[in-house]
Amino acid sequence: MDNILSKIFKKRGIKDVTELDKEERQQFEQWQAVLNKEDIQIKDIVEFSEGAMNMIEAQFGDIDMEDRKKSMLALQHSIYRTFTELIHAPTTEKENLTRYLTDLLK
């Protein structure tokens, strides 16, 4: 397992991939596939972001989901959408989106 993913697991108290639910395991497998590639291409990032957004959107159908989790998923979706738009945007829009992403990190 990639060192970054191992650190995330440790931080969250997860000892093994088998402890993840179906959606989490899918997300993990996507992350691992991207991180294990020698060269990551822009198209890989777009595909990854689009896949993550699809998984998030599928989870929004759960009417029993806690509001906090919905809020976190909405934020994640927004970030993935912004990455995707950033890659496809003309130069002037890239500058605006870069500022937006920078503000999200504050």
Nearest CA-CA partner of 33 in 11, 73, 5, 59: 5
Bigger pLDDT: 37 vs 51: 51
pTM of the model: 0.52
- For the chain, what percent of residues have pLDDT higher than 90? 18
The per-residue pLDDT for 34 is 79
- Assess contact for 77 and 57: CB atoms under 8 A: yes
